[in-house]
Amino acid sequence: MPAPVRTAAASLRVLLDGMIDYAGLFPPASLDMKTCVQNCRRYRNTPEQWALGRFVLPVGRLDEFLIARRDAPLDRWRLSGIVSTDIATDLSAVEEFNRKASNAVMDSLEVRVRCKEDILLAAQHLPPGAMAFFEIAPERAAELLPVVREVGGSAKLRTGGVVAEAFPTVEQIAGFIAVCAELGVPFKATAGLHHPMRSVRPLTYEPDSRAERMHGFLNLFTSAAIAWSAARAGRDAGRTTLATCLADEERANWHFDEDALTWSGENEPRRMDLKALRATRTEFALSFGSCSFEEPLADLHELDLL
């Protein structure tokens, strides 16, 4: 008889629902457009399609996407566009694309900003109905996140890359999450989050790749749930608690049940019920970009969570 199919606990399903924005075009995968589009269509027909979010691509490659998708039709393509330094031109191109494209919409935009003026410029040219994620350095969170809130935007946190220097510390990430929670600014993350738990992993897919300690997406989104649950109750979760959760490498401290997620990495366990997890995912910690959709899920299987 075939082995029974394991069903993810309700708390894990809520936490992961639509969480992974597929970014196969970007390092370290760096796949071509045709392969990525075909992959995205294939993922939409797997049992774990519920974890898949948007397809991430540079705005400047929209024409290439339209050609590639002819061989990979879907009822609806939801896209997140990486905006270049020519912010006004790219956002104008997105507005035209959304007006003309059939069965596709770029309703999420990701803009790397250096200053307040960049944020205001992007907000001024934002296409109707599109959500803007402003990527800022974590050390500038206190300075720029209030501006993001003023324009009704969301934040983007880069959590790694293909070199060790690209990874912020757990304290920097904890500070970023804490300020977002305090201000009520939603955020997404990107880069270096292929694995559920914080662990030492190769930085690329090359056989001789250097290995470094990488952040885990369960660590990140659990700490976000702790911060957001506290903020909604008018409390401060404490940056030390958030950093401890982000740094926790013990799988045994995560308990996914049908009614709640409990993290027991401190003396006092932190329990988030399904309502709190849904609020975190819909209001606060929205998604993360990954150049692999399969690797995060394979790791969850290895951890006996899927």
Say if 7 falls within a structural domain: no
Decide: 220 and 288 in contact? Cβ < 8 Å: yes
Each of the 306 residues of the chain gets a pLDDT tens digit; together they read 444 445 789 999 999 999 999 999 999 999 999 999 999 999 999 999 999 999 999 999 999 999 999 887 778 899 999 999 999 999 999 999 999 988 999 999 999 999 999 999 999 999 988 999 999 999 999 999 999 999 999 999 999 999 999 999 999 999 999 999 999 999 999 999 999 999 999 999 999 999 999 999 999 999 999 999 999 999 999 999 999 999 999 999 999 999 999 999 999 999 999 999 999 999 999 999 999 999 999 999 999 999
Say if 247 falls within a structural domain: yes
- Residue 23, classed as helix, strand or coil, is coil
CATH number of the domain bearing residue 161:
3.20.20
- Residue 57, classed as helix, strand or coil, is strand
Rounded Cα distance between 1 and 109, Å, is 47
Say if 4 falls within a structural domain: no
Say if 6 falls within a structural domain: no
What DSSP designation does 56 have?
Answer: E
Rounded Cα distance between 227 and 218, Å, is 14
Rounded Cα distance between 40 and 49, Å, is 10
Say if 160 falls within a structural domain: yes
Q: Report how many domains make up the chain.
A: 1
User: For residue 245, how far is the Cα from the chain centroid?
Assistant: 17
Say if 86 falls within a structural domain: yes
Taking Cα atoms as reference points, which of 159, 157, 96, 146 lies closest to residue 119? Answer: 146
pLDDT score at 6 = 59
Say if 56 falls within a structural domain: yes
**Cis link prior to 28 (omega < 30° from 0)?**
yes
Query: Two tokens at 286?
Result: 């929205």
Cα distance between the two ends of the chain: 20
User: For residue 184, how far is the Cα from the chain centroid?
Assistant: 17
Say if 8 falls within a structural domain: no
Domain that holds residue 243: 13-301
Greatest alpha-carbon span in the chain: 63
Q: Look up tokens 């993360």; give the residue.
A: 288
Instruction: Mark out the alpha helices in 85-211 (DSSP H runs).
Output: 87-100, 116-125, 141-150, 170-183
Strands 260-263 vs 270-273: parallel, antiparallel or unpaired: antiparallel
